[in-house]
Amino acid sequence: MGTGGGVGEIDKNRAAYKVLVVDDEPDICWVIENALGLHGYTVASVSSAEEGLDLVRSACYALAFVDAKLPSMDGVEVARQIHNICPQASVILMSAYYCSLDKLISEHLNDGILADFLAKPFDLKRIVELADGVLRGEENGESSQDSAG
């Protein structure tokens, strides 16, 4: 059976999309990197905001998964700096502390700093769905319905 244009294009060309994971928990980096890597994405992961921003300065990423609470900088500030360096990059904020309905999160989903939100703990399938959806331009759509609580 055939696939729809946008979905098929993303599925066939995932390796063309560079994805960055920024989280100070090595296990989270490993899980996301492997989940997306197994589905064809080109993924790099780092454990600090500074390392992530250095990578974005050296090569623009299509998508970044960024932890909301990093030791040296909060995830929204990392997202803002990623956009300043690479305006076309989309950022998905991840958190076990916030939910998509929190004022801080919803404000930045609405202003375009964040493409989407991922509540921890998360399902591996959800990571790929979010990546595919954001890269297809489905920001702040049905994919934002996951919230902690």
Question: Residue 53: what pLDDT?
Answer: 98
| Tokens encoding 90 | 């989309």
Question: How far, CA to CA in Å, does 130 sit from each of 1, 18, 48, 54, 127?
Answer: 24, 14, 22, 24, 5
What type of residue is 91? V
In the chain, what are the domain boundaries? 5-133
Question: Residue 146: what pLDDT?
Answer: 40
Question: Residue 62: what pLDDT?
Answer: 96
Mean pLDDT by 10 residues, the chain (149 residues): 44 84 97 94 97 97 96 96 96 87 81 92 92 79 38
What span, in angstroms and rounded, lies between the C-alpha atoms of 60 and 87?
9
Question: Residue 11: what pLDDT?
Answer: 63
* Contact indicator for 65, 19 with CB cutoff of 8 Å: yes
Closest by alpha carbon to 48, among 87, 78, 10?
Answer: 78
Architecture of domain 5-133: 3-Layer(aba) Sandwich (3.40)
| H helix runs in 4-147, sequence order | 5-12, 26-38, 49-58, 75-85, 103-110, 124-135
74: DSSP letter? B
What span, in angstroms and rounded, lies between the C-alpha atoms of 64 and 82?
9
pTM attached to this predicted model:
0.84
Question: Residue 143: what pLDDT?
Answer: 38
Question: Residue 117: what pLDDT?
Answer: 93
